[in-house]
Chain A
Amino acid sequence: MTATTLSLPVERTRRPSQSRAEAVAAYVLSAPAIICLFGILLLPTLATFVLSFTDWQFGAPTLRWIGLDNYVHLAGDRVFWKSLTNTVVYVAVVVPCSVLLGLGAALLIEAGTSGRAFYRAAFFLPVTATLIAMATVWEIMLHPSIGLINVLIEALGFSKQNWLKDPELALFALAGIGIWQALGLNMVLLLAGLKSIPRDLYEAAAIDGADGPWTRFVTVTLPMLGPALSFVLIISAIRSFQVFDTVAVLTEGGPNKATEVLLYTMYQEGFGFFRAGYGAAITVVFLVFVLLLTLIKARLAEKRVHYS
């Protein structure tokens, strides 16, 4: 995070005492924002970072500095590696699917003439719903014997699956729920992006000969959607890195750690086993990933995708 100084176009021909008074006033006025920024965002992050070098047990009166021990332990922890791999697989499935489906839905809605508001609201519904409550509904839907999904699959001639209990399938079942949930927000953001493309450009493209659906899409829509698309990609990546509630409600990391993900492991270590220091170390790893994505986003924002 960087601090930027704003220079206001104020006359600079004042007496020194007056300019000092101005400086004091400036600090006093910005103090609430600075205090909040540090107190709510920066200090907790720093505290987590510091805690990750200690052996603090949640609620314990004392703690000991143990240096990199937590990280060394992490490097050899089979559960952590399983959890990290699962998280990356989850992100790798959810991000492309939810962005592509969101883009498809946005394009279809934008191209349609009637019922736009209905489709928009319908796709957006999962975003507004409480995921814990929705997870329970999904649990019933995915139920091995009475679940709607298995009933449908059987009607189509396939064999029933035990979605949440099969180690091969559980993570992808959760990813499916993740896509269902992320799709709506991606669609709304991309719809806004589509709306902001000037109609003139499509008309110029029509006259220039770029008028087939595919040519028009790659000549105008996709490049003009660049800013919105990169934002959506990064936001859905960060959000799917944070996957927690479906795991906690539906599988608790099982079966046999098949759905163990970073935040769930962190939660287990920190609040299940009370190893707060170790949990903090996992959080730091998690933060590094999110920070990396944020950096990519900032870099993308600088280059290419913005044209103004």
Chain B
Amino acid sequence: MSGVSIQRISKSFGQTRVLRDVSLEVGPREFLTLLGPSGCGKSTLLRIIAGLEQADEGSIALGGQQVDGLLPRQRDVAMVFQSYALYPYMTVAENIGLPLLMRRTRAWQRLPLIRRLHPVARAAAGTIATDVRRAAEALQIAPYLERKPSQLSGGQRQRVALARAMVRNPRVFLMDEPLSNLDAKLRVSARAEIADLHRRAGVAFIYVTHDQAEAMTMSDRVGLMMDGEILQVAPPGEIYDEPAALRVAEFIGSPKINTLPGVVRADGGVAVPGGVLEGGSGLAAGTEVVAGIRPEHWILGMSGASGSLGALSGTVRHLENLGSDLFLYAESQGGGPLLTVRAAPETVRQVSPGTAVALKPRPGRVLLFDRSGQRLRARP
């Protein structure tokens, strides 16, 4: 039985189509991240799953049950919002307990006096307090249960939002950029916490972000979205190494992948401005392609031997030493944008702006795309 099954969802706001025929299957215990630039429709898709937005076409099943037309409450989902959406006038304990209160009591049992006197309401209050404390302890916010959200730091508020989501064991967790309001350091530790929460909860997580680091570090699979379409769904390593399209390759990876326009030669190599990328591409001679080479997939040579087959030559224009990595930005003799090359930090002793370098892609590491951006599976 699948966790979440999304079938051919389309959605327009006025004239703008934000989702085009999106289908997606998420496993019952899977952590799936929807990654994409802002405005790609990923948040809208999440809100449609939650029931906060209605799809124009298509259908959604949660745990094997069709939920189209059901209210958010009836779908048994939990959602963590970018703003956390905590109720500012309630204490942390009341915030976390609200989903339980709404499910375990009736409206009249929540009226001021009855809440304290009616046996059912009082019993519910007891079990709610126990469950709230358990959730708060799991997220280390138990000491703050009686505080108001305004008295908490950003990281603590975020945990309250997580606690409110996990307290009632929903069948799917939906997270809409929950870390984007945290500072960089906190974000890294919160990533580990959310991954841990996922392991313990044992249900499907759908996580929306524009931050590829979050997507790559936490997910079982990443769904890359652009312009209302899912371009590729794959595990993080695969989406990085085997992107299905040039747009995927360009969005994932930092610094960005190098792209060179080229033409397949009779010997299978790819002629690009300033040189030839060696190897048998298996493509028909004359095919116009775009070659993509990630910064870490260059072999850096110091010879400066220009024109040697299978290599590009260029001149270093700019260096970025991050300590763990050194990035060279080299101007190719064939022109075009600067090529980004990742090198070992020790290389900094040998190169400086102006140094002539030779570049060769690692064997089997050139990604070829056709001119429309679709991946061509054979390699040079």
What residue in chain B is nearest A204 (Cβ atoms)? B85
Stretch among A126-134, A219-227, A277-285 lining the B interface: A219-227
Whether the Cβ atoms of B150 and A307 lie closer than 8 Å is yes
Bound CA–CA A223/B91 (angstroms): 13
Say yes or no for A203: interface residue by CB 8 A criterion.
yes
Say yes or no for A215: interface residue by CB 8 A criterion.
yes
Stretch among B99-107, B119-127, B364-372 lining the A interface: B99-107
Whether the Cβ atoms of A308 and B72 lie closer than 8 Å is no
What residue in chain A is nearest B174 (Cβ atoms)? A207
**Cβ contacts B79-119/A at 8 Å (1 or 0 each):** 10101011111000000001100110001000000000000
Bound CA–CA A215/B99 (angstroms): 12
User: Known contacts being A208-B102, A211-B72, is A307 close to B79, with CB within 8 Å?
Assistant: no
User: Known contacts being A211-B72, A214-B107, A307-B150, is A203 close to B85, with CB within 8 Å?
Assistant: yes
Bound CA–CA A212/B148 (angstroms): 25
CB of A301 to closest CB in B, whole Å: 14
In the complex, chain A residues 20-68 whose Cβ is within 8 Å of any chain B Cβ: none
Whether the Cβ atoms of A210 and B81 lie closer than 8 Å is no
CB of A118 to closest CB in B, whole Å: 23
Given the complex, which residues of A lie within 8 Å of B102, measured CB to CB?
Answer: 208-210, 215
Say yes or no for A302: interface residue by CB 8 A criterion.
no
In the complex, chain B residues 33-89 whose Cβ is within 8 Å of any chain A Cβ: 47, 50-52, 71-73, 77-79, 81, 83, 85-89
What residue in chain B is nearest A206 (Cβ atoms)? B72
Bound CA–CA A304/B88 (angstroms): 10
Bound CA–CA A198/B87 (angstroms): 10
Whether the Cβ atoms of B83 and A198 lie closer than 8 Å is yes
Whether the Cβ atoms of B79 and A201 lie closer than 8 Å is no
Whether the Cβ atoms of B52 and A203 lie closer than 8 Å is yes
Say yes or no for A11: interface residue by CB 8 A criterion.
no
User: Known contacts being A219-B98, A307-B148, is A209 close to B103, with CB within 8 Å?
Assistant: yes
Whether the Cβ atoms of B150 and A200 lie closer than 8 Å is no
Given the complex, which residues of A lie within 8 Å of B71, measured CB to CB?
Answer: 206, 211
Given the complex, which residues of A lie within 8 Å of B78, measured CB to CB?
Answer: 207
Whether the Cβ atoms of A224 and B89 lie closer than 8 Å is yes
Whether the Cβ atoms of B81 and A200 lie closer than 8 Å is yes
Whether the Cβ atoms of B107 and A200 lie closer than 8 Å is no
User: Known contacts being A209-B103, A210-B98, A214-B107, is A204 close to B88, with CB within 8 Å?
Assistant: no
- Across the interface, A204 reaches (CB within 8 A) one of B51, B79, B89, B148, namely B79
CB of A121 to closest CB in B, whole Å: 26
Bound CA–CA A92/B153 (angstroms): 43
Given the complex, which residues of A lie within 8 Å of B107, measured CB to CB?
Answer: 212, 214-215
Whether the Cβ atoms of B164 and A208 lie closer than 8 Å is yes
User: Known contacts being A198-B83, A200-B83, A219-B98, is A207 close to B88, with CB within 8 Å?
Assistant: no
CB of B311 to closest CB in A, whole Å: 55
Please tell me the number of chain A residues within 8 Å of chain B, measured between CB atoms: 23
What residue in chain B is nearest A307 (Cβ atoms)? B88
Bound CA–CA A215/B51 (angstroms): 18
Whether the Cβ atoms of B89 and A207 lie closer than 8 Å is no
Please tell me the number of chain B residues within 8 Å of chain A, measured between CB atoms: 25
A-B contact count (CB 8 A): 67
- Across the interface, B87 reaches (CB within 8 A) one of A215, A223, A308, namely A223
Bound CA–CA A201/B52 (angstroms): 12
What residue in chain A is nearest B82 (Cβ atoms)? A200
Bound CA–CA A67/B44 (angstroms): 74
User: Known contacts being A203-B81, A307-B148, A307-B150, is A211 close to B73, with CB within 8 Å?
Assistant: yes
Given the complex, which residues of B lie within 8 Å of A223, measured CB to CB?
Answer: 87, 89
Whether the Cβ atoms of B73 and A206 lie closer than 8 Å is yes
Whether the Cβ atoms of A201 and B72 lie closer than 8 Å is no
Bound CA–CA A226/B90 (angstroms): 13
CB of B245 to closest CB in A, whole Å: 33
Bound CA–CA A211/B75 (angstroms): 13
Bound CA–CA A203/B164 (angstroms): 14
Given the complex, which residues of A lie within 8 Å of B148, measured CB to CB?
Answer: 307
Given the complex, which residues of B lie within 8 Å of A201, measured CB to CB?
Answer: 85, 87
Given the complex, which residues of B lie within 8 Å of A208, measured CB to CB?
Answer: 73, 98-99, 102, 164
CB of A247 to closest CB in B, whole Å: 39
Whether the Cβ atoms of B87 and A219 lie closer than 8 Å is yes
- Among A205, A209, A212, A214, max chain B CB count under 10 A is at A209
CB of B4 to closest CB in A, whole Å: 15
Given the complex, which residues of A lie within 8 Å of B103, measured CB to CB?
Answer: 209
Bound CA–CA A211/B164 (angstroms): 16
What residue in chain B is nearest A305 (Cβ atoms)? B89
Bound CA–CA A21/B98 (angstroms): 59
What residue in chain B is nearest A203 (Cβ atoms)? B52
- Across the interface, A206 reaches (CB within 8 A) one of B52, B88, B164, namely B52
Bound CA–CA A223/B87 (angstroms): 9
Bound CA–CA A200/B79 (angstroms): 11
In the complex, chain A residues 94-148 whose Cβ is within 8 Å of any chain B Cβ: none
Bound CA–CA A223/B78 (angstroms): 23
CB of A97 to closest CB in B, whole Å: 24
Given the complex, which residues of A lie within 8 Å of B150, measured CB to CB?
Answer: 307-308
Whether the Cβ atoms of B99 and A198 lie closer than 8 Å is no
Extra 5 A-B pairs, beta carbons < 8 Å, given A208-B102, A210-B98 = A198-B83, A207-B99, A209-B103, A211-B71, A219-B87
A interface, CB within 8 angstroms of B: 198, 200-201, 203-212, 214-215, 219-220, 223-224, 226, 304, 307-308
Complex A-B, nearest 7 residue pairs according to Cβ-Cβ distance, in ascending order: A209-B102, A307-B88, A200-B85, A204-B85, A208-B99, A223-B89, A209-B73
Q: List 24 A-B contacts (CB under 8 A).
A: A198-B85, A200-B81, A203-B81, A204-B79, A204-B81, A206-B52, A206-B72, A207-B52, A207-B78, A207-B99, A208-B73, A209-B98, A209-B102, A211-B72, A211-B73, A219-B87, A220-B87, A223-B87, A223-B89, A304-B89, A307-B89, A307-B148, A307-B150, A308-B150
